[in-house]
Amino acid sequence: MKIKCVWEHNGDDSLLYAVDLAGAFTRGASLDTAIRKMPDEIQSYLKWKGGSVPDILEVVIVQQKSSDLCIFDADSDVIFDEERKALSTSEYLELKTLALKSAQDFLTMYEAIPDQDKSCLSSRATFYGQIPRTASEMYAHTKNVNDYYFGEIGVSADNEGSILECRERGFALLENQSHFLDNKVYSGSYGEEWSLRKVLRRFIWHDRIHAKAMYRMAVKTFGSDAIPNVFYFSV
């Protein structure tokens, strides 16, 4: 199975995204490191999504972007060439279902953590401030991109309620707009380009980043049996 990938990089720091598996990604201090991680990521992702896992995976880079952003901390602004294309109804519904499953699974993981304000992690600063350490901090950070992501494509959403509830409301507001499947490309904050396809991918990708962090933190803090591994991550 060939995995078409977009490579976003700043010097040697690399983010590698699977084009056809929205939200699947790896990071590495070099491209080679990110490529070596991709087979495990694809297997984990397909198990979570419910797809069959192929025996052989080959990474093929189809697009790249050099960036001045903090790639090491997963700061990203790339838009895939594929994310400029119009959406069919079936494509939209499949991606929307996956984005809502991601939100529900994130919520399930968060609610299962024994003490959501306890963490063994030390403090560290990133481009957006102190890295979230506790489950409650990770959950709030992940949930609260809802109004930002939807706002970048002209949808006035909010962050009220659970991560699942506010995301569902955002999609309902989106679907009230005529021609939303045209997948218009917007010039958003800081000159970044956004489209509906990109928003759908970014939700799953952002959930996945912080779900990995939350799961690993919980295993270190509470033990390997502390929470359900609903995303099927390895530690």
pLDDT value, residue 125: 72
Q: Strand 186-187 to strand 58-66: parallel, antiparallel, or no bridges (unpaired)?
A: unpaired
Single pTM value for the model: 0.95
pLDDT value, residue 114: 95
pLDDT along the chain (235 residues), means of 10: 96 96 97 96 95 88 96 94 98 98 98 96 73 95 98 98 98 97 96 97 98 95 89 82
- Region(s) of the chain under CATH 3.30.2390: 2-78
pLDDT value, residue 68: 93
CATH topology classification for 82-222: Four Helix Bundle (Hemerythrin (Met), subunit A) (1.20.120)
Share of the chain above pLDDT 70, in %: 98
> How many other C-beta atoms lie within 10 A of the C-beta of residue 207?
25
Closest by Cα among 191, 203, 214 to 145: 203
Q: Strand 25-28 to strand 13-18: parallel, antiparallel, or no bridges (unpaired)?
A: antiparallel
pLDDT value, residue 226: 79
Q: Strand 2-10 to strand 58-66: parallel, antiparallel, or no bridges (unpaired)?
A: parallel
pLDDT value, residue 128: 61
Radius of gyration of the chain (CA): 17
CATH topology classification for 2-78: TTHA1013/TTHA0281-like (3.30.2390)
26: helix, strand or coil: strand
Closest by Cα among 235, 220, 73 to 135: 220
Q: What is the Cα–Cα distance from 33 to 167, expressed in whole angstroms? A: 33
pLDDT tens-digit readout, 41-66: 999 999 999 988 888 889 999 999 99
- Region(s) of the chain under CATH 1.20.120: 82-222
